[in-house]
């Protein structure tokens, strides 16, 4: 049982199927081989973050889950396709390396916007940047030795990966450890089957 005064570092995300994780594992192996000073994400930890919540008091978790349930139970499943490799804010000034996600329906963007509106009354600040569906592959520590990596990422900008059906979201707890963040599911929310 969770202590009522404890805080958990939490976020809401869409999990990836094993086939997509395998594709990303292969992609990461290729990118790693070109050097650069990057802290790469473990393939099994990659997900589509819909909303990072930060530290959430356990007392708020019940209200949070109650607010999320109607959003997700009316959400229709939608198709996403892994597409391209890039970086935020740009390839030449990369801080975050990502694999893109094509969302022809626009439902991931609409869902993220609805989450922002739903969670603001609970005290979660709205994200100022517009939502761009992506999968974080790594975080750049420094620009040392990155020119070859940037060149390869340019070549991979149009890479096409597997498609998958997003049919549920998860409220995750993130525990920061020296070996990297570890995620555990606090609650799964299945999308509408209608």
47 is catalytic: yes
Euclidean distance between CA atoms 130 and 108, whole angstroms: 12
- CA-CA-CA-CA dihedral for 6, 127, 80, 76, to nearest 10: 80
**Which residues is 114 bridged to in the sheet?**
none
Tell whether the torsion through CA atoms of 177, 179, 180 and 186 is positive or negative.
Answer: negative
Query: Phi and psi (nearest 5°) for 57?
Result: -70, 140
Q: Which of 47, 72, 101, 140 is catalytic?
A: 47
Peptide bond before residue 55 is cis, with ω within 30 degrees of 0: no
Q: At what angle do helices 58-73 and 107-119 cross, to 10 degrees?
A: 140
Which pair of structure tokens corresponds to residue 11?
């976020």
Q: Which of 28, 103, 112, 134 is catalytic?
A: 134
Q: Give the CB-side neighbour count of residue 12, counting CA atoms within 13 A.
A: 26
Euclidean distance between CA atoms 47 and 15, whole angstroms: 5
Query: Phi and psi (nearest 5°) for 44?
Result: -70, -15
134 is catalytic: yes
Which residues form the catalytic set? Answer: 47, 134
């Amino acid at each position: 049982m969770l202590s009522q005064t404890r805080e958990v570092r939490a976020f809401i995300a869409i999990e990836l199927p094993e086939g997509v994780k395998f594709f990303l594992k292969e992609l990461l192996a290729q990118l790693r081989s070109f050097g650069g000073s990057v802290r790469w994400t473990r393939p099994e930890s990659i997900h589509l973050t819909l909303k990072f919540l930060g530290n959430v008091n356990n007392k708020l978790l019940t209200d949070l889950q109650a607010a999320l349930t109607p959003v997700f139970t009316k959400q229709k499943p939608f198709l996403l396709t892994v597409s391209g490799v890039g970086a935020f804010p740009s390839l030449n000034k990369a801080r975050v390396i990502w694999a893109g996600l094509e969302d022809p329906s626009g439902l991931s963007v609409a869902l993220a916007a609805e989450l922002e509106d739903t969670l603001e009354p609970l005290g979660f600040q709205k994200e100022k940047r517009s939502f761009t569906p992506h999968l974080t592959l790594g975080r750049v520590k420094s620009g040392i030795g990155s020119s070859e990596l940037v060149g390869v990422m340019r070549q991979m900008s149009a890479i096409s990966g597997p498609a998958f059906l997003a049919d549920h979201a998860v409220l995750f707890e993130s525990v920061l450890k020296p070996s990297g963040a570890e995620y555990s599911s606090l609650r799964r929310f299945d999308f509408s089957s209608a």
